[in-house]
Structure formats: C-alpha cells, structure tokens
Structure 1
Amino acid sequence: MRKHRRSTTARRAKAGAALAAGLLVAAGLQFAASASEPDLKRSVADAAGNVASHPRTFGYGPGQELRFADAVVDEDGTRHIRFGRTYYGLPVIGGDLVVHQDRRGRMIRGSRAKGYSPVVPSLEPAVNASETAAAARAAATGIRKAVAEPLLAVWAVEGTPRLVWQTTVSGVGDHEQPAGLVVVTDAVTGGLIETYGAQHQARGEGRSAYTGKVPLDTTPRKGGFALVDPVRGHVTKDAGNMRPGRVNAGSGTVFTDADNRWGDGRTLSRDRATAAVDAHANTALTYDYFKKTFGRNGIRNDGRAPTVFVHVGKKWDNAAWDDDCFCMLTGDGDAARTPSR
C-alpha cells in the first residue's frame, strides 16, 4: 500500500507539473529581472507538483485542476507561485493558492484562502440560469440596457463551500459610461451572498514627459491603483525591455501605484511610469476622438481594448502596432542616436 501511495503521488506531481508548464504561454509571467523565464517555468512546474504532493495543505483533490495565475520573485530569490483552480470544470471563487519556494525551487510553505475546500454535494443547481439572470437584472438598479450573464461556480471564500451563480450584469450608467454589477447567489436556495461593482473607476494624476499634468482613468486595487482604464478598457504595461518580437498580450507587468500620482514629468526620466503616463493618456484620447467624431467603439469598432506596452526592447527607437497581439508597442528610443533627416 505504501508503495502504491508514493507512486500515485508521483504521478499527480508529474501531471501537475505538466499542466502548469502548459499554462505559462497563455497566462504570461511576472518576474524580477534577475530571474530567467526558463527558471520560472521550472519553478511553476515544481510548484504544481508541490500542490499535488501536499493535498492536505492546499485542500487539493479529485476533480480539481490548477490554473496558473502569476509568479513573483523577490530580490533574494524567494519565489511565490500563485494558482487559481477549478472543480470539475467550475471556477472556484476563493480557491487561490500560493506555493512559496526558496531560490532553489524547494517548497517553504503554502498559502490558501480560509474556505479553500471546493467540494460541494452536487453540481446541479436548483435555481436555473434564466431565473438567476432576471433576479440579477432587478438588483442592478441604475444600470440601463442591462445584460446578465450567469456563471456557475463554487464559492469557497469562507465557511462551507457552496454551489453559486456568479452573474455579471453589464450595461450603461446615467452618462452612457460602462456600468456593471456582479451578483453572487446560492444556486440551491437562490439566496444572495454578495454583490460588488464590475466597473471601478478612479481619477489619477499623471506627470507627462511632454504635456505637463494630465488626468488618468485608473482602477482601484488592493493597496493602490492600476493603469487599467475601466471606461475604455485599455491596460498599460511595462514590457521590461523585452524584445519586440517576443511581446504578447500576457507579457509584462501592469503599472501600479499607491497614491494614484504617476510619473515625474521629465523628458529623459528614470521613473518608468512617466512613459506609461503618455501612453495611457494618449490611448484614451485616441479612443475618445474616434468615438466622438466617427461613433466608433474602439479601434475595430467591436469594443475590444488594446494592451499598451512601454519600455519595449533596449534603445528600441521605434513604435509598432501588433494586430495579432492587439497591442501597441513603444520603445525608449536611443538618446545617443542622431535622427535621420
């Protein structure tokens, strides 16, 4: 029996490692400059194996699959690998877990939510999707042209896990701005569990390298703000000087700030957020121009927003649009280069 258990654990670890490695390309990586991408791929694969080898620590078991979220590396080499998870294909709300590793990739400890277990008695809802959608639209007062999209999920934030409907209601507000509400209800009893806004907006102040102080539409996040425009939808990221040909939509790191004041206004700034100020603000201005002048909803008139990258390449004296990535790429230029005439 003991030999069989070890063999089963080994198979689970191998399967978990393969799963995590396969997800890296789609999800992208956040990593410190001192760590290479192959090293992190190995760390994520090892972390998936750690989860499979320590099921009690993470509440991991049959029917569950890991979904790689992000990886962060500290200056001392300590690594923190975060996963989401599904339970028989359903997303687990509150099912996030983190594997903490030393610089050699060995597991130090694990972290997970208080109500981490996703095991529920049944995956069949007693309340159907249409009833749920109607109730969610009724709860979303102040949202016009409302469309409700219920998603069956497992609620594992705290206490006993429950099968739930997570319904996103999308529409427009009083000024035609995008508006939304997420309504979480018990899929068995129909009782309300939680509601929260799907659209969060803050007004930040940017110090542009060229035009002085400019307003920025940002999104509040725990501990600060992110350069994510909740009105127009675009996201501004630091490409970390990655080569242009390697950049995809999952690359780089979203700019964040504690006080919603961005950049230092200098033309040759060492503050990496200064370039982001111009990129984020000008993308918003472009969207607004085409919306007001031509009635277009986004670049392709389909509502899709681009990902905007600054600090692409090293001394890359160029900018480019990548339609496959649906991204705008901007380099830092080369101050020593004499412009051609």
Structure 2
Amino acid sequence: MRRISSTPRKNTLRAAALVASAAMVAVGVQTGSASAQPDRATGASAVQLSSAQRASALVDAQHHASATAAKIGLGAAEKLVVRDVVKDADGTVHTRYERTYEGLPVLGGDLVVHEAANGTRSVTRATDARISVATTSAALAPSEAKKSALSAAAAKKDTRTSASAAPRKVIWAATGKPVLAYETVVTGVQKDGTPSELHVITDAATGRKLFQNEAIETGSGTSTYSGKVTLTTTKSGSTYQLTDGARGGHKTYDLKQNTSGTGTLFTDADDVWGGGRQTAGVDAHYGAAVTWDFYKNTFGRNGIRGDGKGAYSRVHYGSNYVNAFWDDDCFCMTYGDGEGNSHPLTSLDVAAHEMSHGVTAATAGLNYSGESGGLNEATSDIFGTSAEFYAKNASDPGDYLIGEKIDINGDGTPLRYMDKPSKDGASADYWSSGVGNKDVHYSSGVANHFFYLLSEGSGAKTINGVRYNSPTSDGSKVTGIGRAKAEKIWYKALTTYMTSTTNYKAARAATLKAAGALYGTTSAEYKAVGAAWTGVNVK
C-alpha cells in the first residue's frame, strides 16, 4: 500500500483506532479455505510448477536466450536475462525477460515472449522503441548523479540519507527515446519513520532527473478481530516457533521496537499462542499463511515469487509507528504498533495487500508512477480484497471496501471504495487524460472500479451485508461474471501480458488477451471485460 494518506476531507493523517484482537489459539496445521480451483474452461490456466520444475524452466530459458533474442529481432548489442516462466495447460509458454544493452541493464526494456505449443510466437514489450544510444561513455561523473539523487531524497524530506553504493550506468527506456543514465539508490528514513530506498534515474549526459521510485511498499491497516485461528508452527527441542514449514519456511519475528535487524523469532512453550506481544505475531503469521494459500489454491502460485520460498514478518517495529510496509529487498513484511504502541497494524488485509506488491514486483514489475503506478496499487487492492473473501472469516466477511476497519477519516468511512471510488473524495471513477497525474492511490480507482464491475456488475446490490451502487461512465449496464473469474483474468493479465510500463489502455488489451486465452474471444467473459473497461471510460 505504499503510503496511505487521508482524503481531502482530512488534511492530516490520523492513526486508526484498531479493534483489539482476542487471544488466538494455534493448534496443528492451518488449512486454507475452500476456493475455486483454476478454471478448466480452456487449457490457458497456468500449470503449477514445483520449485525444482520452475528452476529447471528458468535455466532452460536462459540457455536459449541468445537464440530467442535473434528470433524476436533484437540487436547484436542486446541480450535477454530470464526472470520468470509461466506454462499453460495447453502447452503455451510465457517467458518474461529483462534486457541488457552492451552489458548495461535496460530499465523499461522488459518483455514477455509467448510461444504456443505449435511454435507460434508473439511478444509483449514494455517499449516499442529501438534500444540504441550513441555511446555508453557517460559525460556526467557518477558523483554528480549521486548529488542529484541525494537532492531528490532531501526534497522528500527523508532523513539519515546515504548513497553508499556507487551509481550504476543503465539505459533508461521506460519513457520515450532510450538514453544513457545513472541509477542511484539512496537509503534513509521517510517522514513517518518508514525506511526509504529511493531509486533515482539521472540522465548521464545532462544530469537531469528522469525518474524516481520509492522501493519500500508502505501501508496502513487495522488488526482485524480474527477470532480463533489455526497456525502452522515448528517444534524445536521443547519449544514451538512461529515458523511455517508448510509455506516455504515463513517466520515471524519480534523487533521489540527496534528499526533494524531481523528481530527475535517468536517461541512458545505449549503451542497455544496469544496475548501480550504474541498477538501481533499471531495476526501477522496468520495473514501471511492465508495470503500464501490464496495464491496457491486460486492460481497455483507457489509463494510470492513463485519459487516456493516464504517471506518473513517482523512485528513491533519502532515506537508509535503507524504504518506497515513490504520491502522486496529483504523480502519481508514489517508492522508498526500504532499510536501509543497499543494497536499493532497487523491484519489479513494489510498482509495480502502488501505481499501482493511482492507478486507484482516478481511479475509485471509495474512502475510505481503514473498510470502504471495506479495499476500497481490497484493490483494490491484487488488481491487484498480477494484474499479477504478467500479467508471466509466470519469475523471479517469479504467486501469491496478498502480499509473498512480503519477510521482514518475520523468519520467511520472506509479508506477506498471499489464500486464507486470517488466516494472517498479523491479517487477516480473513470479514466481521463490526466488520471496519471493523480497520486497512485487515487488513480488506482479506475482499475478498482473495473474489477468491481467485472465481478459484480453495475447498479445497486447488497453483498455480505454491504450495500453497493456502481455507476458507469456512459450509463451502460454491465453484467458481472463473478469475482472468481475476474480474479483469474486479472492474475493472468498481470503475470503474462503486463509489463513495467503498462498503462490503462494496455491493461484493457492485456485483460482482453487473458480473457480470450481463458474463455475464448467469443465468450461472455471476454465481452464482459470489454464492457467493464468501457464502463470506466477505457476504450
């Protein structure tokens, strides 16, 4: 959730009053809720690969990368570096690559090669520009790029900033004509106490800042009243640990109000957890397990990166820290304790939203700026909402409200609404030419609204006791296809057809391709995708 700010109705960020969690009992191994299995209407559903199978597929793809580069028309100075492989049941293979040019990383040059079982090949590219620069010798000294990056961090009001690693030369291709540039990483602390890892792209000829991106995914949420839950724990000697051996070895640690390090692994004598400092750990451990199960049982994804390896969670971060964040560098979730260190921001919806940033980073890598940034944030809202429905927790039924337990506006309203995003006072219901200029939490409204319309349709209805009334930009009526199918379409689009630079127009194309692959281009599902995008003015 990157950073959660209040709507224009409130000028200051309020700490949410969190619902106190009851003591939770950990007994045996947690079993995921029943969910829809991968759609079998066509052979386009992804095949679940074991860690060994995925590793073998990656090695094989890299072995043939040079031949693939030649087949798709890349220049002699370009090389492909495989990042992911998705195999469909019908034999189609989607291979995601990063690109290099004369050995330099090409940022915004990522692409996906789609090869059908009969050898037919197509390519989805982040840029259609030819990758070429006049020289790879930089006119600007690295020290000047570092100064520019430190200035960008200062403008954000980050503190304790440092750019210890030397800037690296790259080709910047995400916007317009490719140019030689430097990427500098500045670490520090953001205004609210969140760690900062600011990536700044500087033109290597002129020194002009081209782009900046905060790599720490932050968000704010509520520790929901989850009641009694079961957890997977591990016995070590005479004590039990919050280590989930069934889900990639996910571990949950107590930072004890520190802001660095891993912390102390939670342990318990009798495997009955809850109360005191443990409760936040139980919430985080449970949220991570449900998120893992949601992705595995719904899409066949084996962990956040698809490699079967678990992330880890850290709770009790800092003092009076009213936030939570995902850090792809440590591959971990971190939760603060809120105001007065009395309301830990640990909950299922926070975990699922933040960990979904990890899924996006491992797949499409949507740039966190402009329309692609809105799609990045919406993806986390979409899958955070979907995981909440998946959990089937009677204490927190699934809904299409984002942050409904957080009184961040001070009036009991949710943070965001998927059925009519503008109800929060700032989010966009429909696409317009200026939507990419909005904060990504507000430009995400277009995709959130699309997902609601595709799932449930337009008009008034009540779902799990919550009333919705979703309009369309042109007054058209949209008939939903159900959340389960909408989830599969969005996931397939994200993992096989979106790239780092995907905007709303390209997202429409990606989801239509996904719907066509899953259900056929003459299907009701395919037509519904088009109607839902038209309903939010993406044509």
Distance 1:46 1:102, change over 3 A: farther
TM-score of the superposed pair, with normalisation by structure 2: 0.34
Give the equivalent residue in structure 2 for 1:209. 230
Aligned to 1:147: 162
- Structure 1 letter corresponding to 2:283: V
CA separation of 1:202 and 1:74: change in aligned 2, threshold 3 A = farther
Q: Any idea what the Cα deviations from partners look like across 1:140-186, whole Å, max 9, x if unmatched? A: 12222211242210011242110111111111234653112221121
Shift of 1:31: 6.2
Matched, 1:259 2:384: yes
Which residue identity does 2:126 align to in structure 1? A
Partner of 1:169: 186
More helix by share: 2
Q: Alignment identity in percent?
A: 29
> Residues 291-310 of structure 1: matches in 2 within 5 Å?
none
AA partner of residue 233 (structure 1): C
5 Å-filtered alignment, 1:1-341, equals 32-33=48-49, 36=53, 42=60, 45-46=63-64, 48-55=66-73, 60-103=74-117, 106-141=119-154, 142-148=157-163, 149=165, 150-174=167-191, 176-203=193-220, 209-210=230-231, 214-215=283-284, 229-230=326-327, 233-235=330-332, 258-259=383-384, 261=387, 264=391
The Cα of 1:39 is off from its aligned counterpart by 6.3
Q: 1:73 to 1:165 in 2, by over 3 A?
A: same
Q: Distance in 2 between matches of 1:209 and 1:203?
A: 25
Shift of residue 191, structure 1, vs aligned partner = 1.4
CA separation of 1:123/1:255 partners in 2, compared to 1, >3 Å: closer, same or farther?
A: closer
Q: 1:131 to 1:107 in 2, by over 3 A?
A: same
Contact 2:144 2:207 in 1 (8 A): no
Q: Structure 1 residues 31 and 49 mapped into 2: Cα distance closer, same or farther (>3 Å)?
A: farther
CA distance in 2, matches of 1:232, 1:66: 23
The number of residues matched between the two structures is: 209
The 3-state SS of whatever aligns with 1:209 is coil
Write out per-residue CA displacement over residues 184-226 of structure 1, whole angstroms, 9 at most, x where no aligned residue: 12110111211221211235679652469725899xxxxxxx6
Specify the SS of the correspondent of 1:140.
helix
Q: How far apart, in 1, do the equivalents of 2:204 and 2:329 lie? A: 33
Q: CA deviation at 1:36?
A: 4.8
Q: Any stretches of 5+ residues in structure 2 without a counterpart? A: 1-45, 232-272, 274-278, 289-303, 305-310, 313-325, 334-357, 361-379, 394-539
Quote the offset at 1:115 in angstroms: 4.2
Residue 126 (structure 1) shift: 1.6
Q: Distance in 2 between matches of 1:190 and 1:175?
A: 30
- Whichever residue aligns with residue 53 of structure 1, its letter is K
1:108 Cα deviation from its structure 2 partner? 2.0
Give the 3 Å change call, closer, same or farther, for CA 165–36 of structure 1 in structure 2.
closer
Equivalent AA in structure 1 for residue 161 of structure 2: A
CA contact (8 A) 1:115 1:160 kept: no
Q: Distance in 1 between matches of 2:78 and 2:328?
A: 35
Q: 1:42 to 1:173 in 2, by over 3 A?
A: closer
CA distance in 2, matches of 1:143, 1:119: 35
Q: Secondary structure at the match of 2:117?
A: coil
- For 2:138, the aligned partner's letter is P
Q: CA RMSD in A?
A: 3.8
- Could you tell me how far apart the structure 2 residues matched to 1:122 and 1:45 are? 29
How far apart, in 1, do the equivalents of 2:86 and 2:359 lie?
A: 15
The CA distance in 2 between the partners of 1:39 and 1:133, in whole Å, is 38
Paired amino acid for 2:84: D
SS of 2:89's partner is coil
Aligned-partner SS, 1:134: helix
TM-score of the two chains, using structure 1 as the length reference: 0.51
Query: Which structure: greater strand fraction?
Result: 1
Q: 1:31 to 1:154 in 2, by over 3 A?
A: farther
Alpha-carbon shift at residue 232 of structure 1 (Å): 8.9
Gaps of 5+ in 1: 1-29, 219-225, 237-253, 267-341
Q: Please name the residue that 1:296 is paired with.
A: none
How has the CA–CA distance of structure 1 residues 36 and 45 changed in structure 2, closer, same or farther, with 3 Å as cutoff? same
Change (3 A) 1:151 1:255: closer
CA positional deviation for 1:54: 3.2
Distance in structure 2 (CA, Å) of the matches to 1:159 and 1:174: 32
Query: Matched residues in 2 for 1:84 and 1:113: separation?
Result: 10
Q: State the SS of the aligned residue for 2:217.
A: coil
Greater relative contact order (Cα 8 A, min sep 6): structure 1 or 2?
2
Q: Give, in angstroms, the shift of residue 79 of structure 1.
A: 0.9
* Cα separation, 2, equivalents of 1:108 and 1:166: 33
Alpha carbons 1:47, 1:107 under 8 Å: kept: no
Shift of 1:255: 6.3
